[in-house]
Amino acid sequence: MIPESLVLQATQLLKNAKHTVALTGAGISTPSGIPDFRSRGSGLWERYNPMEVASLSAFRYDPEKFYKWIQPLALTMVRAEPNPAHIALAQLEKAGRLAGIVTQNIDDLHRRAGSEVVYEVHGHLREATCVSCYSCHPTGSFIESFIETGATPHCPDCGGVLKPNIVLFEEQLPHDVFYGATNIISQSDLILVAGSSLEMAPVALLPVGPLNEGARLIIVNHYPTYLDERADVIFRQDVAVVLPHLVSEVLGE
């Protein structure tokens, strides 16, 4: 049950804001069946050491091990569908009440839900880059065969190993995307954190500047964050329930 007093507060913040930005994490996609990384009992990092399977060093040393690890996750992401939380944010953007989304997710569900201004700061699976000749290739031509066989994909130009354009541990974030994310959040007067525990720097630190300048903050997340004490409204309920309810109230539907 969502407390109506919190709904009222959040609705007024969303209606009054001139530049709202959503910051989303893995928790917004768990209702779509995609596991997150840190939840107690189900997070991926409880079963795997990230430095052994998802670091740049590990990929360079043993790309086959990386692809064996990511195969079932890639299958889940490709088969997943946007849930009501993704759709609600797309509706909010279409209505002119959301400037854009900064997401830590690589699952492409925001774009598939209809959102247009999306900064994927940890990359995506739509493309892959050759580690030998650095040519970039759409993954659409081989993703299905990879999901079926688990075979390491190779560059059609030179035969080198292809690395998906996602940010692994030990890698820097893509400069242009992170610059855009920083810029759009720096202009915000309201930040909506949805499904992120705000544990991964530097993305987790992006709201601090705007908050210091007077921006307001709504958090929708099952677990505490380091910014809870600065939030105007906190929802601990399911993000796929809270966001559609809020958007419906804001848009008068």
Catalytic residue among 86, 110, 122, 245: 122
Q: 18 to each of 9, 146, 191, how far by Cα in Å?
A: 16, 44, 11
What is the C-alpha to C-alpha distance for residues 15 and 178, in angstroms, rounded to an integer? 27
If we measure between CA atoms, which residue out of 169, 155, 62, 182 comes closest to residue 123?
169
- The token pair that represents 67 in the structure block: 């692809």
Residue 211 identity (one-letter amino acid):
L
Q: 186 to each of 104, 137, 220, 232, how far by Cα in Å?
A: 17, 33, 20, 18
Which strand (E) or helix (H) includes residue 128?
strand 123-130
Annotated active-site residue 122? The verdict is yes
Active-site positions read: 122
